[in-house]
Structure 1
Amino acid sequence: MNKHLLFKIGYWLIASVLIALLLQNSIVNFWNAWLIALFFLPAALIVKFGVERANLLKGVKKWIRYFYIAMLSLYWGYIAIAVAYWYFLELKADLLDKVLISPVFIWLIIGFFVLLEFMFFKKVQPKEQETITIYSDRKKTTINIENLAYIESRGEFTLAVLVDGKEFKNNMRISEWKQRLNGFLRIHRSFLVNPRYATLNGNEVVVNAQWNFPISRTYKQQVLSYFENSVQL
């Protein structure tokens, strides 16, 4: 188990204790409140990973996914409340109103700690080089790396394609591009993509929501690992 994962586990254990303190207005015994707080953690994971997945979608599908995430997290939150009512309070009707928690309060608790986790464990990106200079059509050309969408190898030459679709034909090999472009992702012997604009869609990588490129067997594990780690972080 790596250190990063241990820190995350430690964070959520601390978060569960803080949630238990918030719940003590309804559940007097701290240990009972803490057990209920532990039941809230799956709801937090639903929000965390659900939102990250939803952000890869566009338009109405994204908002529909957000709605389902909200409902599912609320449902799980009330499962935790039901445990408190059935187990700790032994189905005492006069105490039911004490364990009923506003859905807004549940979302605030979960949302706060998910956002806080994101801020604590946000991956610090190394400072990237800003431009790269190449020869295209016998002219020296300087390209802003942030605007590069992907590099395509076409045998004897490569194409550097910007997000606006502009192309620069040059004689650099794709392996040279890979060495010069820190952080770019090789997905195929013919394609090198800017992960800033890339999303995973089955066996393809979609760049800037307009170019679909296949993932070759050689790079498949590397590509899948990259996107899995991006989601976790």
Structure 2
Amino acid sequence: MKKYIFGSMLAKKQLIFWFGVWLFLILLLSTSLSGFVVSIYFVTILMPVVLATSIFFNRFLVPKYLLKNRMSRFFLYLLYMLVVSIYFELLVMVLAFVVLADYQIDNLGKIASDIYLLTLILYLVVFAEGLVLSIQKLREKTQRLAEVEERLANEKQEEIVIRSNRKNINLRLIDITYIESFGDYVKVHLDKEMYTTKEKISSFEKRLPNSFIRIHRSFLVNKAHVDSYNKEEVRLGEKELSIGRKYKKIAEQALQANLTA
């Protein structure tokens, strides 16, 4: 779910970026073309060339060749891309010359009629999108690193403090077999004893490391104490705990990973 939301946010940012590029080019070329409406038409015709060039460069050439240090192929395809993009820019200029400028080159203005200047603008947009993508990837890596560090910190945690019978009790995580929910109370089960504390199981789920897995709305189990399991239940010694339908897939994946580790 988190991955889907993150992907959706990236898609929205991409749409905002390209809409901003479209507006920027319209404003830039409106100073050169004869009228704001003509600028909108010209930029709209040009945008597929800009998009295709940027996608090819930033999502194909850079990750597949430049970042893998395959420089000969990178520069070869870069040359191809340059030739093809200029060719399509020329087609756009010819189309604009016929349809928008009414065969009057002066109506295109300085920017729209200069292939070198237009190419420079195109590749500035391409490199700008590359910079935006790099920043997004850096943020994503930073977020993942923070999540990994948090998970490792939790896994290094050896004890947990609970409040039971008006006393603070330190429990070693390795000694906890499972946690059972009773509404606002939970029972923390150890091998030979049990403690009751006024705390929700969801709170325990946040506090405990990944060695504990939620298998049911009422059960959190310590994977280290799981002797066997199937799609319906988990066995911890002589105790059998049901796996809730909502948690089956996640529980099975976690327990399988624990078994093969």
User: Normalising to structure 1: TM-score of the pair?
Assistant: 0.47
Give the greater-gyration-radius structure (CA): 2
Q: Which structure has the higher relative contact order (CA within 8 Å, separation 6+)?
A: 1
Structure with the higher helix share, 1 or 2: 2
